[in-house]
Amino acid sequence: MTFQTILLKRVALKHISLGVRPNQYTIVHENPMWAIVDVLGDAATPEVAAVWDEVYWLMANLLINKERGLYSAVDLNPDEIWRTWGVVERRKETADTVAFVVKRTNPRPTNQSLPEPYVSLKMIMKGGVHQLRQHSPTAVDDGDHRQFAVKRVRGIQRAPDGEMSNLLHDTVKVGDRVQLAALFGDVVLNYSNRPLVLASAGIGLTPMEGMPSHKVKSHTHRKVQLLHADGDSGSYALRRQVEDSLAQLNEGKPDVWFERAEGNLERNENSGYMNIDNVDLPEDAEYYLCGPLAFMKLVRSALIARGIPAKDIQYEVFGPDL
Ligand SMILES: Cc1cc2nc3c(=O)[nH]c(=O)nc-3n(C[C@H](O)[C@H](O)[C@H](O)COP(=O)(O)OP(=O)(O)OC[C@H]3O[C@@H](n4cnc5c(N)ncnc54)[C@H](O)[C@@H]3O)c2cc1C
């Protein structure tokens, strides 16, 4: 697959996860075209504008066709993407992370999820504007329930606090209703019997936890090894859930690195940044990474240096991918 194909697929999946319709491409068209003319100024002659226009519609039509195929593959149309769910559990995992369990309110069952997708949430912000954000399910859907965990994003260096994560933390409680979209994702767990090595940092653990939970439920026999990095033991969200899932799979405990390790460390715990140089890795494994970009670059380089082929390393990015 070329880079462009991967990028277009990622965009198309994000669009259908939000219920984007073909007629909305006209609205999108107006804004970049306005920006192009504004930035180019006098250089935006009618000929130049016509070329940009043509390029936009070439890309838009590619996406519209791709999205039509994706909607029909899951037997949904854009009007059916969003559903109302009721919050049935709210669990404080750490000072900054809350886990939510929601229950379906719509009579039509949802597809039981694969382990890799994300779910989109739609909320009305304090100013009255709709905002959308993605979250990774931390357990496979059973058709009725869905689970996800949200880290409160605090503004650093005078940037404002994250809008939706703070609204979720501050206002959403058991009994409330939330709008969730159908599940989609572009980081796909391949169906094979090869061992799986999952490496995460911080809240990047969420998609990783979905995978062992899927394995527990589907009774597959893939070996799973989890490597996790966190600030300290107090910021390690979903710890109990992850350890329970791995114990059910007889996989032992995850290898953990704490940046600010305190007190006595357990046998599976290390201090400092994740360092995989001395970690025993299974033969012929597939690797999935999720965490801040710097973490993923570091781990990916270390894996490549150990001879792992790049094709066997996939990663999930919690933001723009470039
Ligand atoms: C596929 C996927 C899966 C994800 N899964 C999870 C998950 O399981 N759990 C989870 O917690 N998150 C997850 N995320 C991240 C999540 O979707 C949100 O991006 C995150 O919660 C922040 O949203 P927010 O509305 O709180 O922050 P936003 O309001 O979107 O702000 C984001 C950042 O921009 C900064 N910012 C905002 N405005 C300005 C400004 N004017 N100037 C400078 N900086 C500014 C903020 O300080 C903040 O750091 C996932 C993302 C993706 C794409």
| Structural domain that includes position 233 | 196-316
pLDDT of 297 reads 94
Q: Are residues 200 and 311 in the same domain?
A: yes
Give the strand pairing for 286-290 and 313-316: parallel
For 275-295, what is each residue's pLDDT tens digit?
A: 999 999 999 999 999 999 999
Q: Does residue 216 lie in a domain region? A: yes
Residue 59 lies in a domain: yes
Domain boundary among the residues 54, 73, 92 is at 73
The total domain count for the chain is 3
Q: What's the CA-to-centroid distance between 318 and ligand 1, angstroms?
A: 8
Do 287 and 255 lie in a common domain? yes
The reported pTM is 0.90
Q: What is the pLDDT of residue 245?
A: 87
Does residue 239 share a domain with residue 304? yes
pLDDT score at 96 = 97
Tell me, yes or no, whether 208 and 247 share the same domain: yes
Determine, yes or no, domain membership for 188: no
Q: Helices 205-218 & 239-248, crossing angle to 10 degrees?
A: 30
**Can you give the pLDDT at residue 192?**
82
Best residue for ligand 1 mutational test, from 135, 171, 315, 322 (most atoms within 8 Å of Cβ): 135
Residue 118: CB within 6 Å of ligand 1?
yes
Determine the pLDDT at residue 218.
63
Q: What CATH number should be reported for the domain holding residue 273? A: 3.40.50.80
Contacts of 153 (CB under 8 A, 6+ apart): 161, 162, 165, 166
pLDDT value at position 320? 61
User: Which of 17, 96, 97, 133 for mutating ligand 1's site (highest number of atoms within 8 Å of CB)?
Assistant: 133
Cα separation values, 152 from 44, 92, 117, 164, 236, Å:
43, 11, 21, 9, 14
Please identify every stretch of the chain with a pLDDT value under 70, giving residue numbers as ranges: 1, 111-116, 212-220, 320-322
Note whether residue 189 is domain-resident.
no
Q: The domain spanning residue 31 has which CATH number?
A: 1.10.490.10
Per-residue pLDDT, 251: 83
Q: Are residues 292 and 234 in the same domain?
A: yes
Q: CA-to-CA distance for 260 and 19, rounded, in angstroms? A: 42
- Asked whether residue 207 falls in the same domain as residue 171, the answer is no
